[in-house]
Chains A and B, each alone.
Chain A
Amino acid sequence: MPQGTSIRLEGCAKTFEDGTRALEPMTLEIEGGETVVFLGPSGCGKTTTLRIIAGLENPDDGGRVFFDQEDVTDLPIEHRNVGMVFQSYALFPNMNVEENIAYGLKIRKLPRSEISTRVNEMLDMMHIHELRLRTIDQLSGGQRQRVALARAIAVQPKVLLLDEPLTALDALLRERLRVDIDELLRGLEITAIYVTHDQAEAMSLGDRIVVMNRGRVAQVGDPRAIYFEPEDAFVADFIGTMNHINGIVREGYFETEGGRIALRSAPEGASEIFFRPENATIVEVSKAMLAGRVSAAFFLGDRTRLIVEGVGQEKLTIEADGRAKYSEGDQIGIDIDPESVLTL
């Protein structure tokens, strides 16, 4: 089996007919067999990028799309040999499950016996054999998306494109199907591009994540890099929870209303630091780096989420052990692991 198709975008921008700029010129290299997740808020250009790769949109003049060494920019989607899964499933209501999966194979004029073998393989792979003869309106959302996946993979595409495939499902189904999709992508070793606005999906599925914002790539990296070393405030805020404290750096310390923190590397002039809730620990007020006041406490079982004010201008989110009890107005001391403090 070939090692998966690589994809290269060169200066692909997209301006719609009404003049909106959906995507600034984008250059991106995706390796064969890799799973890349496009992550960002709605309107960030992630779906547009996917549709350019699929061949459903043309990039503005000058943009090129390559599959391996082949320039596919001018090929329409039906000649690119991609598999695509849509948020709305896009299954054909006039065909049953089996016929939906077989449709692409019929178009390729495969012999009947081969089609039926392949369809059966797909049904087994997606655990939907018993749904074989159902019509689409007899399926639930989760089942529909499994059929859609089977239909996309059945044609043995060079690239699998998934456009928010789980967004329309409820939370529990989403989690289960996510695990299945993960297994599937690892098993197939196919190049896959997955678009989502859900950071948990992105972190768990992506070999690499492309974080996008307002038509631009904000950061490209593996999930850990995106989480632990965000390159700008947008990425830091979009992935997980991030606290901000305003203040000034003076002689290696960051000073703010609630106290001061020794910084490992302290760029003079930095006026804001960032840290995640899990990097703060609650200590006695007298020994603490920072002091603040609890303004709200949410008991979540294994932990308690505290909203703390009085440290900087913005409220902080801190996590405490579930057993400790806090109420509004409590004075607490906070230590922050200096290693994990970010200055962007």
Chain B
Amino acid sequence: MRRTYRFYAQLGFTLLVCSFLILPVIMSVMAGVTENFFKGISSGVTLRWVVEVWDLYADTIFLSLVIAIACLACTIVLGIPAAYVLSKRQGRVARMIEELLTLPLAIPGLAIALALIITYGGFRDFRSSWVFILVGHVLYTLPFMMRSVLAVLSTADFRSLEEGAASVGAGFWRRFFDIVIPNCRAGIVAGALMVVTLSVGEFNITWMMHTPATKTLPVGLADSYASMRLEIGSAYTVVFLIMIIPLLVALQLYGQPKKKQAENFDDLEHLESRTAKSAHMRSKS
């Protein structure tokens, strides 16, 4: 196939947009490993700043991981059953709740945080522990888990699957764990990666809710940008990217809706009916 002028124009445009988006990331990474940003990369490459970030902010990194994992646990325990119940209900209320699940995207994180502080700020111990931030994260990420699981639940005929399992003797809990959960796995994995990614990177809610003792990675990042050398802030970005990129890659790999493997299904059916036909003819003659 001869590539036309138009093909190259489109390719060029795409590359231009990509580089516009990626360039700042590259610049930031470079700044994080440069001896002196103002002198440029010629001043030498060093991991000094990364080490310094580790010394100063290791606790924020751990806290972020702890919150992300706890958040994942909460969204799994709360989100999967909630999605399951919603998918079973046909009524208007259920559809309304489903619509409401898009709300966290529309409400600024600051507003969610403020609401939580107004409501629970009086409980001192709770207010000053990381669990308080966890609540904010769960509130924010739960809909993503639910929507992801709901999407899978609505594609397959789970009612029939459950009835099939019940007919051979499976009670509710066996059906739930043997049939529903395993067949939702794609949605759960996609939702889980989404939840962890969002939680690790969450800034708005966390920034409002954090105390000096409960800083997460993005809050520490803001802190370092505000009060440290530019190189340290950039090195911090490097650390953040190292954590988040594997998650994003995994999200791309597993988060895609699973392609139906039954593409050649028609062929199979066709083949079978043909063999049936020839068998039929043979038996006739």
Instruction: Give A residues with C-beta under 8 Å from B.
Output: 54, 56, 76-79, 81-84, 86, 88-94, 103-104, 107-108, 137-143, 148, 151-152, 154-155, 161, 170, 172-173, 175-176
- Select A152's contact among B157, B168, B182, B268, beta carbons within 8 Å: B168
Q: Assuming A56-B163, A137-B260, A176-B280, is B183 touching A93 (CB within 8 A)?
A: yes
Instruction: Give B residues with C-beta under 8 Å from A.
Output: 156-157, 160-161, 163-171, 174, 178-179, 182-183, 185, 260-262, 265, 268-269, 271-273, 276-277, 279-280
B280 & A86 in contact (Cβ 8 Å cutoff): no
A78 & B164 in contact (Cβ 8 Å cutoff): no
- Select B164's contact among A86, A107, A140, beta carbons within 8 Å: A86
Contacts of B183 in A (CB 8 A): 92-94
A142 & B272 in contact (Cβ 8 Å cutoff): yes
A91 & B261 in contact (Cβ 8 Å cutoff): no
> Which 3 pairs, one residue from A and one from B, show the smallest C-beta to C-beta distance?
A104-B168, A90-B164, A84-B167
A-B contact pairs, 20 of them (CB 8 A): A77-B163, A78-B169, A78-B170, A84-B164, A84-B167, A86-B163, A90-B157, A91-B164, A93-B156, A104-B168, A104-B170, A107-B174, A139-B268, A140-B271, A141-B269, A142-B276, A151-B168, A152-B167, A175-B280, A176-B276
A54 & B167 in contact (Cβ 8 Å cutoff): yes
Contacts of B262 in A (CB 8 A): 137
Contacts of B156 in A (CB 8 A): 93
B160 & A90 in contact (Cβ 8 Å cutoff): yes
- Select A83's contact among B167, B174, B268, beta carbons within 8 Å: B167
Q: Assuming A90-B160, A172-B280, A176-B280, is B261 touching A77 (CB within 8 A)?
A: no
Other A-B contacts than A78-B167, A83-B168, A84-B164, 17 sampled, CB-CB below 8 A, are: A78-B171, A88-B157, A89-B160, A90-B161, A90-B163, A91-B164, A104-B168, A137-B265, A138-B268, A142-B273, A143-B272, A154-B168, A155-B168, A155-B169, A161-B167, A172-B280, A176-B276
- CA–CA, A211 and B276, complex, Å: 31
CB distance from A186 to the nearest CB of B (A): 19
Contacts of A78 in B (CB 8 A): 166-167, 169-171
Closest-by-CB residue of A relative to B159 is A90
CB distance from A155 to the nearest CB of B (A): 5
Q: Assuming A94-B179, A94-B183, A170-B273, is B163 touching A84 (CB within 8 A)?
A: yes
- CA–CA, A79 and B171, complex, Å: 9
A140 & B169 in contact (Cβ 8 Å cutoff): no
Contacts of B268 in A (CB 8 A): 138-140
- Select A77's contact among B160, B166, B178, B265, beta carbons within 8 Å: B166
- Select A173's contact among B168, B260, B272, beta carbons within 8 Å: B272
Contacts of A89 in B (CB 8 A): 160
- CA–CA, A86 and B165, complex, Å: 12
CB distance from A216 to the nearest CB of B (A): 26
A103 & B265 in contact (Cβ 8 Å cutoff): no
Contacts of A84 in B (CB 8 A): 163-164, 167
Contacts of A77 in B (CB 8 A): 163, 166-167
B167 & A173 in contact (Cβ 8 Å cutoff): no
Contacts of A104 in B (CB 8 A): 168-170
Contacts of A140 in B (CB 8 A): 265, 268-269, 271-272
Contacts of A92 in B (CB 8 A): 161, 164-165, 178-179, 183
Contacts of A175 in B (CB 8 A): 280
Contacts of B179 in A (CB 8 A): 92, 94
Closest-by-CB residue of B relative to A76 is B166
- CA–CA, A289 and B178, complex, Å: 69
Closest-by-CB residue of A relative to B162 is A90
Closest-by-CB residue of B relative to A171 is B273
Contacts of B169 in A (CB 8 A): 78-79, 81, 104, 107-108, 155
Contacts of A82 in B (CB 8 A): 167
